[in-house]
Amino acid sequence: MNTVLCRSLFALFVLAIAVLSSEPRPSAQGGSSADALHRPFDELLDLYVRDGLVYYLALRGDRAKLDRYIASLGGQATAEAYPNWTKNEQAAFWVNAYNAFVLRTVIDQYPIRGRAKEYPSASIRQIPGAFERLTHRAAGRTVTLDTIDKMILTEFKDPRLHLALGRGAIGSPRLRSEAYTGSRLEAQLKSVEAECPTRSECILVDPTTNRIAVTSVVGWHEGEFVANYGNSGKRFTNRSPVERAVLAFIEPNLFNTERDFLDKDQFRVTYSDFNWELNDLTGRSR
């Protein structure tokens, strides 16, 4: 059985365990007032997100709850409380805000039927200015999605945060069915990091073509990945800083056979073309 197939089966196994588990959801229950802010969003994600795909049609019909949550992000009370939150609470706030704004951007235009040839017809990219022009209010600031991704989250100096963003696309790392919280942020980001090599949209280790394909999200934030992972160990000294960073990031969560493949050091590292197809669960087989 080849490594790619093993990875696919492993990812399905992990998903099955998550779906069948009857454990109480801890993500936004209890905790600080900052964490409690995200409890309504946690409930929405639990209802309408499955394996990174979104029931956009159903969410549109229940949009009042999403609108109320988004209004709370931009409320005066939140703006006043934000400076007193911990770093993790602030980071979790911005990841949740980004993901909520993406969901609202999509359902505002759903069903999307665009004509730009460079993107799928139902892509969020068919919405003019979705990332760089449409503005939102959060923590007393007027922001765009790009402002959060490229400026605000960069200040936290943890590139895993960018892999926690659901960009409304199949090519994005998986949108979780729970909100991020300050009290659990490190554990949640470790889960994001561990999951990345199990999903071909994030990392594809392919010995049959001597290639490691990496999500374009890493390429969009090369400097942060290099700063955090580029000096890990003395291996792969012939590689570029970003390649060393990618390898240091993924290696702890690889199978033994994949580590053996890395040891041979005969592979290419490339960026995958980002798949901007809408991560829409409506109409898909379940």
User: pLDDT (tens digit, 9 = 90+) per residue, 206-224?
Assistant: 999 999 999 999 999 999 9
What is the rounded distance in angstroms from the CA atom of residue 215 to the CA atom of residue 246? 10
Spatial contact of 269 and 17, defined as CB atoms under 8 Å apart: no
Mean of pLDDT values over 182-209:
96
Question: Between these two residues, 285 and 79, which has the higher pLDDT value?
Answer: 79
DSSP-derived letter for residue 168 is S
User: pLDDT (tens digit, 9 = 90+) per residue, 246-279?
Assistant: 999 999 999 999 999 999 999 999 999 999 999 9
User: pLDDT (tens digit, 9 = 90+) per residue, 109-121?
Assistant: 999 999 999 999 9
pTM: 0.90
Exposure of 120 by Cβ count < 10 A (0-12 exposed, 13-18 middle, 19+ buried)? Answer: middle
User: pLDDT (tens digit, 9 = 90+) per residue, 225-234?
Assistant: 999 998 876 7
pLDDT score for 12: 47
User: 137-150: buried (b, 16+ CB within 10 Å) or exposed (e) per residue?
Assistant: bbbeeebbbebbbe
